[in-house]
Structure 1
Amino acid sequence: MHRRNRNTLLSGVLAASVALGGAALAVPAAAAAPTAVPAASCTVTPNPQGEGVVITGEGFTAPRKLNDGQTTDPLTINADGTFRVERPKNADYTVLAVEETQNFVFVNCKDASGQKPGTGVNKKDYNKGYRDGLWAGRKAARTDCDEPAQPDKSKMRSESYWNGWTAGAQAAFDKWCHTGSDGGPVGSGGPVGSTG
């Protein structure tokens, strides 16, 4: 009787061991499986005011740096792996890892701005700058043809805007002011038609 109880008990323990052993083996195997690291990405788009670009990213681990081909600045990475920064120009932006052990040592940002990176050519910005430059050039010419309009660069604008502004101001100044063969003003230096 005792032998039968002992065999039943041993059979139950062995069955439980096998069941638990299989579960115990299954748990470490599942835990050992590497979790997929979400792919990091970075995108460059025009900012809402059309005066530069917004750079956004996701899937990053801190610390990171942002490189535009000329400068490298530290990035603030949020707890969820995202970041958002604004820059005054479009360029070939790259997110760089600070530590060698980080995933995605570098990620090139995709350009969705409608302009070619590094060229500083954005038609919308250029046209706005050109219009503003025309007004400034005309105002300067009406005041004094000895002094062309100067841009007020206290506001952050894109390179395209300033290129357009310079072209517009020069066009207005040339239209409204006479210049002699030596490049200097003719007559009183007023608008076109005010002197002979």
Structure 2
Amino acid sequence: MYRSTRRAVVASLLVSSVVCGGAVALAPAAGAAVPAASCTVTPGPNDTYVTITGEGFTGPRKLNDGESTVDLAIGPDGTFRVQRFQKNVDYTVLAVNEDQNFIFVNCKRVGSAATPKPQNPQNTTPVQPGSRRDIAQGRAAGAQAGAAAAKKSCTTEPVADKSGQQHSDAYWKAWTQAANRAFNQVCKGS
């Protein structure tokens, strides 16, 4: 009697292990789950707006800023990008359907990529009007403008455009001298 009971138990264990093994083989692996969704908020230049980007989402989705909710256009690759003028609020991406992964995702604030670090630290201080640096900048800009004007035509001399720039008289004097010198050198050489 024990033998027949033992055979029945062993047989049922074998059958159940095959059935469960097949079910486990058909189920997706835990590592192959839907990739994590993320959302970031980046300040725009001059801190006038924010850019909100996200990835890993399935549509449809909505963006909530604590007061209002708007539809998001999710791309086929699961990404979105929008600009908003509400800068000091917490943004959240919401699911529209109950069966969607990631019912809500809070957006994380990141620093602005638009503020580059200065390449040359000595040029970060403002130029004093009439200083050597001011005059040198006038010479450099004038030489460039004079050469450019000569390449266009040797009949029209360079003229300084002082409308949108605040520079000292020394700057403009150096600019004019360098522009005329560069203009004459290029035009005499051709």
TM-score category (smaller protein): 0.3 to 0.5
Q: TM-score, normalised by structure 1?
A: 0.42
Q: Write 1 or 2 for the structure with the bigger share of helix.
A: 2
Q: TM-score, normalised by structure 2?
A: 0.43
